[in-house]
Structure 1
Amino acid sequence: MLLKLDLNDPRPLHEQVTAAIRRAIADGQVAPGERLPPARDLADALGVNANTVLRSLRDLRDEGLLEFRRGRGVSVLRRPDAREALGGKVRDLLDEAARYGYGPGDVIEIITELSRSGGPE
C-alpha cells in the first residue's frame, strides 16, 4: 500500500493519514477482507508517529471501513461508497485550490469550463 502525505497541507497529520488510507481503500489498493500493514510500519513509511496512525485507524474503524481483531490486526471491512470517496477527493481539490488562492466558486468555474471544452488541455 503506497501512501503519501503533502508536507504543505495545513490539515492535522492524523486527518491527512486518515484521508490517505481512505483513498487507498477506495482506489482498491487494499480490498475488503485484506489486512493493513501494522501501524508502526505505516508510521515509518509516512514519517509520522505511530500514535498518529493509530488515531487515523480508529477514525476509519468508527466510519465502519476497518475492523480491529485481536491477534489478527486491522482489516478492511468495506470500501467507502462512491459519494463518500468522491467527497474526499473534492475536499482534497478544494484544499489544494485554497493553497493557490482559489475558493469553491473558482473551482466550480474551472470545472464548468473544462467540462464544456472536453477536459484539460
Structure 2
Amino acid sequence: MLLRLNVADPRPLHEQVAGSIRRAIAEGELALGDRLPPARDLSQVLGVNANTVLRGLRTLRDEGVLEFRRGRGVTVAGGADQRSMLLKRVHDLVADAAHMGFSKTELIEMIRGAS
C-alpha cells in the first residue's frame, strides 16, 4: 500500500491521511477485510505524528470505512469503497455549494426538494 501526503496541500494532515487511505481503497490497493499496518508504522512511512494518523483513521472509522477490532487491528469495512466514494462526492458538493455562496442549510433544502 502506497500512501502519500502532499506538503503543498492546504488541508490538515489528518484529512490527507484519511484521503490517502480512501484513495487506496478506491484504487483497489486495499480490499474488504484487509488489515492496515499499525498507526505507528504508518506515521513513520508518512513522516507525521502517530496521533495525526490515528485521527485520520478515526475519521474513517466514524464514516464506516474502517473497523477497529481489539486484537485484530484496523481493517477495511464491508462496502467501504462505495461509501468512501459517496462521502467524497458529498464533501465535494458541500465545498462547491460554499464556493457558490450557499449555506449548508440552503444545500439541505435543495436536496430535500430534489427527492
TM-score, normalized by length of structure 1? 0.68
The offset of 1:25, in angstroms, is 1.0
Alignment of 1:48-87 (within 5 A): 48-78=48-78, 79-81=80-82, 83-84=85-86, 87=89
Does the aligned pair in 2 maintain the 1:26–1:85 contact within 8 Å?
no
Q: After TM superposition, which residue ranges in structure 1, 4 or more long, deviate above 2 angstroms?
A: 82-88
**Alignment: residue pair count:** 93
Q: Could you say what the CA RMSD is over the residues aligned between the two structures, in angstroms?
A: 2.3
Output the CA distance in 1 between the equivalents of 2:43 and 2:11.
Answer: 17
Per-residue CA deviation, residues 44-93 of structure 1 (Å, 9 max, x unaligned), is 110000000000110000000110000110000133327427639x95xx
Q: Which moved more, 1:78-87 or 1:24-33?
A: 78-87
Alignment of 1:1-121 (within 5 A): 1-78=1-78, 79-81=80-82, 83-84=85-86, 87=89
Q: Which moved more, 1:78-87 or 1:36-45?
A: 78-87
Unpaired segments ≥5 residues, structure 1: 95-102, 105-121
Output the CA distance in 2 between the equivalents of 1:36 and 1:51.
Answer: 16
Output the CA distance in 2 between the equivalents of 1:57 and 1:45.
Answer: 15
Output the CA distance in 2 between the equivalents of 1:80 and 1:52.
Answer: 22
Output the CA distance in 1 between the equivalents of 2:88 and 2:53.
Answer: 22
Residue identity (%): 61
